[in-house]
Structure 1
Amino acid sequence: MTSRAWGRAALRLVFALALPAVLVAVWWVASAGSTNVYWPPLRTVFGAFPDVWTGERLRGDVLPSVLRLAAGYAVAAVVGVALGTVIGSRRRVRALCEPVLEFLRAVPPPVLVPVIMLFAGIGDMMKIAVIASGCVWPVLLNTVEGVRAVDPVLAETARSYGITGVARLRDVVLRSASPQIFAGLRQALSIGIILMVISEMFAASNGLGFTIVQFQRGFAIPDMWTGILLLGLLGFLLSVLFRLAERRVLGWYHGLRESGRRSP
């Protein structure tokens, strides 16, 4: 990596960390003299963090939450891309499914938690189903739009060269729609984290959502705030990992955009 590339990377890191650092500093100063039991000083929250989130609690609460999130997110990604590709490729199928999709999309996923509990019980399957039911919509709808937006000239050229079947689906349709698909996957990730917490607040014996509620009910307010901060850190880490994966998979797309910006 050249010195110029290192400089750009350092500058991006500074911009990424500047606002969080300012917000933490403001929170620290604003809460420094707080005597409100529900708004403890940030130094108290930081002091409680290592005592609360020990290795045992990370294995017993954080790991199950992450595994449920990963399972529900994976199911939503597979189902969303598969159905979105079919619906986006077939005009009649799209016309038939569009009213139903709009109706189901308008139903907030947390409302479905009691219904899903009736069919899936209160175990991990319920939580995975809740996460998948909310994450699938941005993936599906963005896939539909991405498939619909495939360049007809490109599609016709592929047909002229005899690129059909699986090869056409992989190299033409999904490749052209992949930027839109990843936009849906990015939206689904934040939705999945929210639904992970909500599902664990309803009926669970472990997990981040369950633990935060237990702290709140026991009036362990600094411990509750550490759970909220840990959720934010988890969301940030997953976002970084997603961006790295996106840059790797869509390297060709970002390269085209960069070359387009440089061209006169």
Structure 2
Amino acid sequence: MKRLALQLFFVLALPLLLVTAWWFASDGSTDVYWPPLRTILTTFPDVWTGEQLRADVLPSLLRLLAGYAAAAVVGVALGTVIGSYRRVRAVCEPVLEFLRAVPPPVLVPVIILFAGIGDTMKIAVIASGCVWPILLNTVEGVRAVDSVMTETARSYGITGAARLRHVVLRSASPQIFAGLRQALSIGIILMVISEMFAASNGLGFTIVQFQRNFAIPDMWTGILLLGLLGFVLSVLFRLAERRALGWYHGLRDTSRRSS
């Protein structure tokens, strides 16, 4: 219980400190573009009603999850193949480095040409940015699989899908989850950017509409909601990672105690 309370303190301490600093720094502000935090918090429940959440936040989350899931499947699958075979890696690495250097927002006009302006375009934009950290981390994780472990599995007749599941992916899973964690923040950014182009709903669309109508406190509530959404998704991902990599964190904790 004490350990859980300490972890909760470390998670919430900095956000609470920043919110407190924002409250006092903006208190008494008369700048139309920098309203007091008190005004923003008062406006928040009036703007983000249950209907508004269903109309804008839910579609954004569904697009984010769809693009993120597609990137995870493609990234892990391709990364496993590229990381497992040296010749494939030698052929693909120059192309991957070139494509990784292209910022995903630049691809939005190109994706619109092929996918239109619907949800498919937005999901494609999210997936195109999320796939790179997952793919590259998977490649490095597969490359780093212990050769002794691989030879031991081969000597015991563990081959094919069993070897891939129990040896390769399990050994590379800490690195894969590191890529998934990086991709989550990228996905949230691209979710907002994609909804600023030819959209009719979503968080990005709504925030831009508030800005164009000079509803500045409403715009700040959208930004605040976006930050809260990112925080909640990060906490949920950390819990899922802790559960999936329980064996890995257990080994690390054991090695720390022994040293």
**TM class, shorter-length:** over 0.9
Shift of 1:162: 0.1
Once residues 248 and 203 of structure 1 are traced to their aligned partners in structure 2, the CA distance between those partners, rounded to angstroms, is 39
Shift of 1:42: 0.4
Aligned to 2:234: 239
Once residues 116 and 212 of structure 1 are traced to their aligned partners in structure 2, the CA distance between those partners, rounded to angstroms, is 23
Question: Greater CA deviation, 8-17 or 161-170?
Answer: 8-17
| TM, length-normalised to structure 2 | 0.99
Aligned to 1:15: 10
Aligned to 2:179: 184
Q: 1:43 aligns with which of 24, 28, 38?
A: 38
Once residues 23 and 148 of structure 1 are traced to their aligned partners in structure 2, the CA distance between those partners, rounded to angstroms, is 41
Aligned to 1:222: 217
Aligned to 2:134: 139
**Pairing 1:88–2:94 present:** no
Once residues 151 and 213 of structure 1 are traced to their aligned partners in structure 2, the CA distance between those partners, rounded to angstroms, is 50
Shift of 1:175: 0.2
Tell me, what secondary structure is at the counterpart of 1:202?
coil
> Counterparts of 1:1-264 in structure 2 under 5 Å?
6-264=1-259
Tell me, what secondary structure is at the counterpart of 2:196?
helix
CA displacement 1:166-215 (0-9 Å, x = unmatched): 00000000000000000000000000000000000011000000000000
What letter is aligned with 1:209? G
What letter is aligned with 2:38? R
Shift of 1:15: 1.4
Once residues 240 and 250 of structure 2 are traced to their aligned partners in structure 1, the CA distance between those partners, rounded to angstroms, is 15
Percentage of matched positions with identical amino acids:
85
**Structure 2 spans left out of the alignment, 5+ residues:** none
CA RMSD of aligned residues (A): 0.4
Once residues 190 and 18 of structure 1 are traced to their aligned partners in structure 2, the CA distance between those partners, rounded to angstroms, is 21
Once residues 23 and 82 of structure 1 are traced to their aligned partners in structure 2, the CA distance between those partners, rounded to angstroms, is 40
Once residues 206 and 23 of structure 1 are traced to their aligned partners in structure 2, the CA distance between those partners, rounded to angstroms, is 30
Once residues 70 and 15 of structure 1 are traced to their aligned partners in structure 2, the CA distance between those partners, rounded to angstroms, is 28
**Structure 1 spans left out of the alignment, 5+ residues:** 1-5
Once residues 10 and 146 of structure 2 are traced to their aligned partners in structure 1, the CA distance between those partners, rounded to angstroms, is 36
Once residues 162 and 245 of structure 1 are traced to their aligned partners in structure 2, the CA distance between those partners, rounded to angstroms, is 32
What letter is aligned with 2:244? V
